Amino acid sequence: MEVGNKTRVTVFVLQGLSNNPHIQIVLFVIFLVIYLLILTVNLLMLLVIRTDAHLHTPMYFFLSQLSFLDAFYSSVIVPKLLENLLSKQKTISLLECFTQISLVVFSGATEACLLSVMAYDRYQAVCHPLLYVVTMNKKVCAGLVGASWAIGMGTGLLNTILLAQQDFCGPNLIRNFACEFPPVLLLACSDPYVSVASILTSIVVLGLGAFVLLLVSYTHIIMTALGIDSASGQKKIFSTCSSHFLVVTIFYGSGIFRYMTPASGSALEQVLSMQYSVVTPLLNPLIYSLKNQEVKAALRRMLTRKPRLSF
């Protein structure tokens, strides 16, 4: 479409993972299996937490929100990836692309907030156990989760609206398998200063702010644990927090390299995008279930529970 002397892009083309038809079929099967596993393990985690009364605590309430978000996050990316692996025309409309970007930013921002909330919850449980039930009551937990989702929505909408104001006059090839902020911004013909400033501000304020809260919480947790004379008490604290710490490390490790380095469309960038949009949503519930005795016990109770017959 021509506007004035400029040709305006109406669709983007996703580079994808491979142009070889045989490899595409293999990749389709692999990612379909992974996607089904992501949905299964995260929905199973939600079901276990919902049905087992022993897990009706703030920690598992936050974990259920994380599981839902992981299933949602992968559903933003993987279905379009599967479609493109079987399609010759790997195009995506501007509206669909910007919607995907908005949901990706929303999911990342919300997860950063949720991980900080979960760290704060562990801080209260370990450092102030006598006040924990009062401090982390249902109203507070609901408010923290609501604030996390609201911040994520606001961050996604703001950055996407600013990006959509850019002029895209060609080329229209996105060097990735999905629409993400960095590779799409590279295609802008107009000055991207506002969009760059907006996403960097979001990363610094939200990402770094959440990371600082995580560090402060875990510093107090470690100091409290080291001050306990009982070896079993220390082991219980570190066992409870190790799963969350591992999830945080994976999330921030991939996110920092992806969004804090200049976009170039390299293979490494696609690997990082794949890691936090496909691999992480599968790993998170596995990490929490395999390293958490309460979750494993609840899962065993659910699987061995005899169905009740009603007449």
- Please state the domain extents for the chain: 11-289
pLDDT-derived band at 87 (thresholds 50, 70, 90) equals: confident
- The whole-number pLDDT of residue 311 equals 39
- The whole-number pLDDT of residue 306 equals 56
* Average pLDDT estimate for 63-85: 92
- The whole-number pLDDT of residue 110 equals 94
| Fold held by 11-289 | Rhopdopsin 7-helix transmembrane proteins (1.20.1070)
Question: Does a cis peptide bond (omega within 30 degrees of 0) precede residue 192?
Answer: no
CA atoms within 13 A on the CB side of 125: 18
CA atoms within 13 A on the CB side of 134: 4
Distance, in Å, from the CA atom of 246 to the CA atom of 249, rounded to the nearest integer, reads: 5
| 91 three-state secondary structure | strand
Digit-coded pLDDT (tens) for 142-165: 999 999 999 999 999 999 999 988
| 274 three-state secondary structure | helix
* Average pLDDT estimate for 217-231: 83
> Do strands 11-14 and 173-174 pair parallel, antiparallel, or not at all (unpaired)?
parallel
Q: DSSP class of residue 17?
A: S
- Mean pLDDT for all residues in the chain: 85
* Average pLDDT estimate for 24-52: 92
| 3 three-state secondary structure | strand
- pLDDT at position 179 over 80: yes
* Angstrom distances, CA of residue 81 to CA of 133, 258, 282: 44, 19, 16
